[in-house]
A and B are shown apart, each in its own frame.
Chain A
Amino acid sequence: MLFRSAFFAASAIATISTAAIAVDAPTDPQIAHIAYTADSLDIAAGKQALSKSHNKAVRAFAEEMVRDHTTVNDKALALVKELKVTPQDNPTSEGLTKAADAERAKLAKMSGAAFDREYVNNEVAYHKTVNGALEKVLIPSSKNAKLKSLLETGLTLFREHQAHAEQIAKDLK
């Protein structure tokens, strides 16, 4: 779980920064980049599932992921344009991308029920990780009120996705 350790590092930084130096907390351009990256990676995972899975519940979930995360990303793009912010790449975004690339490669070699289980279990883990980062690091660190509000909407939505993925994971067993 590469991306998980990246987020733990980020949250450790934020813990230190709230105590002493604010310098290490992610900036708004970095937060926007992380949020956009996290959304895009889950859209890619959803598209992969739609190209491989034949399970009705899994496909409906993957469609939901593509749809909901695309909506959030459209909002995020409109917001960075409005705020004239250029999203900035950072180690957390890189860690997320690396981990998702590895997971996508792993899933590419799988099929059938094994694929479905791996995809859904990873969706549970992924949303858990992203939700933890939103709650502990990204939302508290964000300065712009509109960005913070969009992240809060994201957190509410992704908690629902986590719950939905957990439900499907249980049904797949």
Chain B
Amino acid sequence: MIARSRLCPLLAASVGALLLSAADAPATAAPHIYTIVIDKLKFGPAPAQLHKGDTILWVNNDLFRHTATAADHSFDVDLMPGKAGKTVLTKSGSIPFFCRYHPNMRGVLQVK
């Protein structure tokens, strides 16, 4: 979470500057880091309002090793117990994901 506090003010400032210089441009949110926690062999809820450029921080709080793997193979993050990993969302659309080890662990990212 250090990354977030350092990143966001910077990005917010630059977006603010952009909005000032182009008042007519649609307001777009600054890229954010969203956390999805894994525990008890389940992915926590996927954040709503994801946008291209946002980052998912996968936090494995479980006893077991997991992966966060996109069905379209656009990402595949190995997650040892107690560790975290990141995915930067580079495309919009609906991206189903699962754990390669535990097939019933799944979710969907809706990226705008």
Q: Which residues of A contact B (CB under 8 A)?
A: 60, 64, 67-68, 71-72, 75, 153, 156-157, 159-161, 163-164, 167
Contact = CB atoms under 8 A, between A and B. Distances in A.
Nearest to B103: A163
Nearest to A75: B63
A160 B40 contact: no
Contacts, number: 35
Given A67-B65, A68-B64, A71-B64, A156 B40 contact: yes
A75 B64 CA distance: 12
Given A71-B64, A163-B102, 18 more contacts: A60-B100, A64-B101, A67-B65, A68-B65, A71-B81, A72-B63, A75-B63, A156-B41, A157-B41, A157-B64, A157-B102, A160-B101, A160-B102, A160-B105, A161-B102, A163-B104, A164-B102, A164-B103
Contacts of B65: 64, 67-68
Contacts of A71: 63-64, 81
Classify the interface of chain A: helix, strand, loop or mixed. Answer: helix
